[in-house]
Structure 1
Amino acid sequence: MDLVYERVSTTQRDLDRQVDALTTAGVAPEWIWLDRKSGATTDCPGLTALLALARPVDESVVNTLDRLGRTVCDTPNRATT
């Protein structure tokens, strides 16, 4: 199962374009988790929920790796939370 995570860094940014591209590509909306949080915070409820649901056989997808964290050092910490 593909689980998809998208994040925008401010509430003024729009996730619709990203979600539209994903659903057009065949991803069911119920398998897309979203956050509107700065990359400076590790408190991302959407990512936490996705990781809690994910099984070893599932594939987690992000548009770009910077959606998981602000820096390379932050990314593994967040992805394994």
Structure 2
Amino acid sequence: MRIAYARVSTDAQELHRQLDALEKVGYDRLIEEKYTGTKKDRAGLQKLLDTLREGDTVIVESISRLGRNTLDILSIIEELDKMGVTFISLKENMDTTTPTGKAMLGMVAVIAQLERDLIAQRTKEGLESAKKRGVKLGRPQLDEQKIQDALKLYDEGNHSIKEILRLTGISQGKLYKEINKRKLQD
């Protein structure tokens, strides 16, 4: 089955240009979506993936319709490949059944890997730089006095949990954790 996928980012945008291009090449089913490509969890994309079977073909007007960043686009195309689904992008003239299409996919994969490596390198450098400047990484430690105040208010029994959280600024999970910790010690 040839399944066409068309996406724009907002309700204000129209799909006409994509639909015209897709109709020229033909398809058996169309999945349309008006949702940002910055999110990988999209209803239309999930519907597409759920619909696909081995031997099917996905056709898009442009590879950018799958997502906004190279890593997401590549992971979607790789997922299609693992499913035994052919991918065709009209604008980029990419067809994963052809040697040229497979080569283009390989180049996209290399670029995506480079992007992943650069992100990891920048993250590592940023963390090292922060440590050198004395920045403490990780979750901030709660003030022990706040915890003791919250437990005291809890023990008094005159305040609701919501009030205790509001007055002390600690989280509900932390309060219950400390209450349970005391129970285990008794």
Asked if these proteins are the same fold (TM beyond 0.5), I'd say yes
**Over 4 Å off, 4+ runs:** none
Query: Any idea what the Cα deviations from partners look like across 1:8-31, whole Å, max 9, x if unmatched?
Result: 011111013322343344334xx1
Pairing of 1:1-81 with structure 2 (within 5 A): 1-28=1-28, 31-79=29-77, 80=79
**TM-score normalised over the length of structure 2:** 0.38
Identity, % of aligned positions: 34
Unaligned runs of 5+ in 2: 81-186
The one-letter code sitting in structure 2 at the alignment partner of 1:44 is R
Q: 1 or 2, which has the higher helix percentage? A: 2
Q: Higher relative contact order by CA 8 Å / sep ≥ 6: 1 or 2?
A: 1
Which of these two proteins has the greater Rg computed from alpha carbons?
A: 2
Q: CA RMSD in A?
A: 2.0
Unaligned runs of 5+ in 1: none
The one-letter code sitting in structure 1 at the alignment partner of 2:63 is L
Query: Any idea what the Cα deviations from partners look like across 1:27-65, whole Å, max 9, x if unmatched?
Result: 34xx11011111111232111111111111001111111
CA–CA distance in structure 1, aligned partners of residues 27 and 57 of structure 2: 12
Count of matched residue positions in the alignment of Structure 1 and Structure 2: 79
The one-letter code sitting in structure 1 at the alignment partner of 2:51 is L
**TM-score normalised over the length of structure 1:** 0.79
